[in-house]
Amino acid sequence: MKILFCAAPAHGLMLPIIPLVWAARAAGHEVLLATTSDMADLGARTGLPVVDVFPDHNIWNDQMRRLSGGGDESDQDLSPAYRQALEAHNPFGMFALTMTEGSIRAGRDFGADLVVYTSDHVAGALTASALGVPALEAGNRVSWSMRDADFKARSSFVGDEILAALHETNDIPDGGPKLVARIDPRPPSMGGLPAGVPEEPDSEDGVPWWPMSFVPYNGGAVLPQWARTTPSRPRVCVTLGTVVPVLAGTDSLTAVIDALGGMDVEVVLATGEADLDSLGDLPDNVTPVGFVPLSAILPTCSLIVHHGGSGTTAAPMFYGVPQLVLPSFADNPMSAQRVADRGIGVQHDPSTVDAATLRDSIARLLTEPSFSVAAQEVAAEMSGQPSPADVMARTIRSLGGEA
Q: How far apart (Å, rounded) are the C-alpha atoms in residues 395 and 265?
A: 46
**Are the C-beta atoms of residues 148 and 79 closer than 8 Å to each other?**
no
CA of residue 403 relative to chain centroid, distance: 27
Indicate if 225-382 has the same CATH topology as 2-213+384-398. yes
The pLDDT tens digits for 347-383 are 999 889 899 999 999 999 999 999 999 999 999 999 9
Overall average pLDDT of the 316-324 stretch: 98
Look at residue 67 and tell me whether its pLDDT is greater than 90: no
pLDDT of residue 60: 75
* DSSP H/E element including 104: helix 91-110
Q: What are phi and psi of 320, to 5 degrees?
A: 70, 35
pLDDT of residue 246: 46
Residue ranges of the domains in the chain?
2-213+384-398, 225-382
pLDDT of residue 401: 72
Q: What is the model's pTM? A: 0.91
Percentage above 90 pLDDT, the chain:
65
403 falls in which pLDDT band (50, 70, 90)? low
Q: Higher-confidence residue: 159 or 199?
A: 199
Burial 107-145 (b: 16+ CB within 10 A, else e): beebebbbbbbbbbbbbbbbbbbbbebbbbbbbbbbbbb
pLDDT of residue 73: 46
Percentage above 70 pLDDT, the chain:
88
Look at residue 34 and tell me whether its pLDDT is greater than 90: yes
Look at residue 234 and tell me whether its pLDDT is greater than 50: yes
297 falls in which pLDDT band (50, 70, 90)? very high
223 falls in which pLDDT band (50, 70, 90)? confident
Q: What is the mean pLDDT of the chain?
A: 89
Overall average pLDDT of the 9-29 stretch: 96
Residue spans of beta strands (DSSP E) within 169-283: 178-184, 200-201, 208-211, 235-238, 266-269
260 falls in which pLDDT band (50, 70, 90)? very high
Look at residue 247 and tell me whether its pLDDT is greater than 50: no
**Are the C-beta atoms of residues 127 and 34 closer than 8 Å to each other?**
yes
Look at residue 79 and tell me whether its pLDDT is greater than 70: no
Q: How far apart (Å, rounded) are the C-alpha atoms in residues 145 and 140?
A: 8
Look at residue 89 and tell me whether its pLDDT is greater than 70: no
CATH of span 2-213+384-398: 3.40.50.2000
Sheet holding 266-269, edge to edge: 286-288, 266-269, 235-238, 303-306, 323-325, 345-347
Torsion angle of C-alpha atoms 137, 139, 145, 147, degrees rounded to 10: 30
On whether the 225-382 domain is CATH 3.40.630.30, my answer is: no
Overall average pLDDT of the 322-346 stretch: 93
Look at residue 62 and tell me whether its pLDDT is greater than 50: yes
Look at residue 77 and tell me whether its pLDDT is greater than 80: no
Q: How far apart (Å, rounded) are the C-alpha atoms in residues 139 and 122?
A: 13
345 falls in which pLDDT band (50, 70, 90)? very high
pLDDT of residue 300: 95
Look at residue 86 and tell me whether its pLDDT is greater than 80: no
Overall average pLDDT of the 238-251 stretch: 61
pLDDT of residue 162: 84
Sheet holding 178-184, edge to edge: 50-52, 30-35, 2-6, 114-118, 134-138, 178-184, 208-211, 200-201
pLDDT of residue 71: 57
Q: Higher-confidence residue: 320 or 282?
A: 320
Q: Higher-confidence residue: 38 or 277?
A: 38
Look at residue 317 and tell me whether its pLDDT is greater than 50: yes
Overall average pLDDT of the 331-358 stretch: 94
User: Half-sphere exposure of 166 toward its Cβ, with a 13 Å CA cutoff?
Assistant: 29
Q: Higher-confidence residue: 234 or 329?
A: 234
